[in-house]
Amino acid sequence: MTDSIEQKTKPRVVVLGAGPAGMSAAWRLSELGYPVTVLERDAAVGGMGKTIGLGKYRVDYGPHTFHIRETDESREVLAAIRPFFGEDPLILTRGTRVLLQGKYYIYPLEVFQVLLGVNPLLALRILVDYATATITSTFAPPKKEDSFEEWGVRNLGRTLYDLCFGIYSARVWGLPTSQISSKQAQRVAKLNLKNIILRALGIAADPATYFTKYMYPRAGISELFEGMAGVVRASGNEIKLGATVTRADCEDGVIRRVAYVQDGQEHVIECDAVLSTLPLPALVEMTAPALPEEVRAHARCLRYRSLKLIYLVLKRPRLTDYHWVYLLDEQFRVNRLSEQKNVSDEMVPKDRTVLCVELSLWKDEDLWRASDEEIYRLTLRDIMKMGYGVTEDEVEEYYVTDIPTAYPVYELNFEDHLIPVLEGVHEIRNLLTLGRHGLFLNNSMDDNVLLGMKIADHLEARGPADSQTWKTDMLAFMNLRFQGK
Ligand SMILES: Cc1cc2nc3c(=O)[nH]c(=O)nc-3n(C[C@H](O)[C@H](O)[C@H](O)COP(=O)(O)OP(=O)(O)OC[C@H]3O[C@@H](n4cnc5c(N)ncnc54)[C@H](O)[C@@H]3O)c2cc1C
């Protein structure tokens, strides 16, 4: 069956994926009068930034708040999407903590709190190690790429790094941190002991990294992307849900048609441009004729870390006072706990709280295939260790769900694979990639809304078939993010 998008004067655009990046692109292009079709495998829009129903509760698919940064880019994004947050959005002050050796510390770390919280000998070791690391790194010869561990030890000293990043990061990424690229530190790039001390004295604050405010729509994060979907539909464009993209047919260096399966039937849609937010390894395997084997081989080396999300409904009004808590100590198997009610208390009844606990895994390990009951028991054991006196009787219900491609993994020198893949796919003149998976960039929703807005401007300025300029712009953009800017 062949669908055809109503031919308007502008090029016909097919957007692959209805997450934050795809929806933002579709919304902006719809406003600019483009005929757009969005193809989304899921039954709802929002991608990872969606709100899901669990029995009688509604919760986000992992904790999701929208970052407010003190940058021009952030102000531009927020001004553009402000209507989608509803009349009276919540403005939250970042309420995140790390649980370290039985105590809660503010995150990003406040050094005096840590130095005063740990035992005095440990505090002394933190300071001595930091001084040693600073001197050693001054004389170290430059390398092609530092590992995450080298970055951490240089910036924090061995003791603070091990306590606060080493053990936790190895668990999150499933690799020794000596095998992870320092580019993984993009989100905490300004987190070095010198900066922490200056910040504690009120002298240095890096606006890009140290955002302290969030905006949140009261009924759940997906309000934002449902709002965008409303604009897309109101302009006569279509969002096809339950539509799994299977093939992109190329002729003469451009994609002419995209195939997708919906309700068990294959459909084909004709197009002038394709904007893809799909994981790069999947996209590479979808193009017909196939991309060169070298590109496909590089794409197979790009790995994703998967997540199980375990939700516990507790028969108590609240567990913590925090948006989320990182569990740093070796005794924990799960990474992070978040409490939906602490973000919006309108989503959970007064006498109940819903926790979301994250467990990082590789898709080929046994635990990924374990029963929900097994995963729940492992989670409950960790929650019981947190010191809140949680008992099994308090758990009213539990739910286990997963995100198979949650985090692009930056193995050491991963760009040796990533760059040839980005170059390979953008050889197709009207295929442009964006988003967390389309760029293999561990970025946040605000960044992906920005990219959606940028890609609409790009199409408007340069037409549907200038993937080369887009790729060049994106490589520059990614480099900034890798530097934590
Ligand atoms: C646990 C967790 C917590 C997070 N918390 C925050 C936070 O608090 N704040 C923040 O700003 N960011 C947060 N993020 C990051 C945020 O989720 C991402 O930046 C954002 O969702 C990426 O948007 P995207 O559109 O690029 O990708 P996605 O959201 O992954 O969207 C891609 C879409 O493509 C669809 N798709 C995939 N394959 C196909 C196919 N073959 N056919 C059709 N459709 C397909 C998927 O179903 C999905 O809907 C968090 C991420 C995780 C994992």
Q: Which CATH architecture has domain 2-53+221-302+412-482?
A: 3-Layer(bba) Sandwich (3.50)
Does residue 444 have its Cβ closer than 6 Å to ligand 1? yes
Longest alpha-carbon distance in the chain: 72
What tokens appear for 323 in the block? 């948006």
In the block, residue with structure tokens 């952030």:
74
DSSP structure class, residue 413: T
State whether the beta carbon of 448 lies less than 6 angstroms from ligand 1: yes
Taking only the tens place, the pLDDT of each residue in 326-380 is 999 999 999 999 999 999 999 999 999 999 999 999 999 999 999 999 999 999 9
For the record, the structure tokens of 294 come out as: 């070298």
Q: Degrees (nearest 5) of the Cα angle 324, 329, 332?
A: 75
User: Residue 481: CB within 6 Å of ligand 1?
Assistant: no
Give residue 58's pLDDT.
93
Q: Which atom of ligand 1 is nearest to the CA of 406?
A: 53
**C-beta of 67 in contact with ligand 1 (< 6 A):** yes
Tokens of 329: 């100590």
Q: Please answer whether residues 213 and 85 qualify as being in contact, where contact means their C-beta atoms are separated by less than 8 angstroms.
A: no
* pLDDT beyond 90 at 398: yes
pLDDT at position 351 is: 95
How far, in Å, is the centroid of ligand 1 from the Cα of 268?
Answer: 25
Q: Whose CA is nearest to atom 48 of ligand 1?
A: 47
Report percent pLDDT > 70 for the chain.
Answer: 93
CATH code for the domain defined by 304-408: 3.90.660.20
**436 touches ligand 1 (CB under 6 Å):** yes
Ligand 1 pocket residue status of 278, Cβ below 6 Å: yes
Whether the domain at 2-53+221-302+412-482 and the domain at 304-408 fall into the same CATH topology: no
**pLDDT confidence of residue 156:** 84
Buried b (16+ CB within 10 A) or exposed e, 471-481: beebbebbeeb
Is the beta carbon of 305 within 6 A of some atom in ligand 1? no
Spatial separation of the C-alpha atoms in residues 425 and 418, rounded to whole Å: 11
Quick check: CB of 247 below 6 Å from ligand 1?
A: no
Does the C-beta of 64 come closer than 6 Å to ligand 1? yes
Q: Which of 48, 107, 340 to mutate to test the pocket of ligand 1 (most atoms within 8 A of CB)?
A: 48
Dist. CA 110 → ligand 1 center (Å): 30
408 Cβ below 6 A of ligand 1: no
41 Cβ below 6 A of ligand 1: yes
Residue 108, preceding peptide bond in cis (omega within 30° of 0): yes
How far is 465 from 121, CA to CA, in rounded Å? 62
pLDDT at 200 over 80: no
C-alpha span between 232 and 80 (Å, rounded): 15
CA nearest ligand 1 atom 35, residue: 17
Question: How much distance in Å is there from the Cα of 208 to the middle of ligand 1?
Answer: 21
- Please indicate whether residue 437, judged by its CB atom, sits closer than 6 Å to ligand 1: yes
3-state secondary structure 78-94: HHHHHHHHCCCCEEEEC
134 has a pLDDT exceeding 60: yes
Q: Which two tokens stand for residue 420?
A: 């040839």
461 CA to centre of ligand 1 in angstroms: 27
Which residue, judged by its Cα, is nearest atom 12 of ligand 1? 444
Ligand 1, atom 14, residue with closest C-alpha: 444
Query: Residue 207: how many CB atoms within 10 A of its CB?
Result: 12
Mean pLDDT of the chain: 92
User: What confidence score (pLDDT) does residue 151 get?
Assistant: 87
Looking at residue 483, what is its pLDDT? Answer: 81
Which range (123-127, 129-133, 139-143) has the least confidence? 139-143
d(CA 127, CA 159): 9
Domain ranges of the chain: 2-53+221-302+412-482, 109-200, 304-408
Q: How many CB atoms lie within 10 A of CB 350?
A: 9
Q: How far apart are the first and last CA of the chain?
A: 46
Q: For residues 426 and 429, give the distance between their C-alpha atoms in angstroms, rounded to a whole number.
A: 6
pLDDT given at position 188: 59
For 280-324, the pLDDT digits (tens) are 999 999 999 999 999 999 999 999 999 999 999 999 999 999 999
CA 436 / ligand 1 centre spacing (Å): 7
CA of 445 to the centre of ligand 1 (A): 8
Q: Check pLDDT > 50 for residue 179.
A: yes
H or E segment and range at residue 297 = helix 293-300
If pLDDT is split at 50, 70 and 90, which confidence band does 207 have? very low
Packing angle, helices 72-81 and 222-234, rounded to 10:
60
Residue 140 CA to ligand 1 centre (angstroms) = 39
What are the structure tokens assigned to 109, written together? 């770390």
Tokens representing residue 78 in the block = 């927020």
**Rounded to whole angstroms, how far apart are CA atoms 95 and 104?**
12
Pairwise pLDDT comparison (144 vs 469), residue with the higher score: 469
Nearest to 455 by CA among 10, 65, 23: 23
Distance 409 CA to ligand 1 centre (A): 15
- Provide the pLDDT for residue 484: 78
Predicted pLDDT of residue 282: 98
- What distance in angstroms lies between residue 52's CA and the mean position of ligand 1's atoms? 14
Query: What CA–CA distance (Å, rounded) separates 191 from 111?
Result: 11
Cβ of 452 below 6 Å from ligand 1: no
Kindly give the distance from the C-alpha atom of residue 22 to the centroid of ligand 1, in angstroms, as a whole number: 10
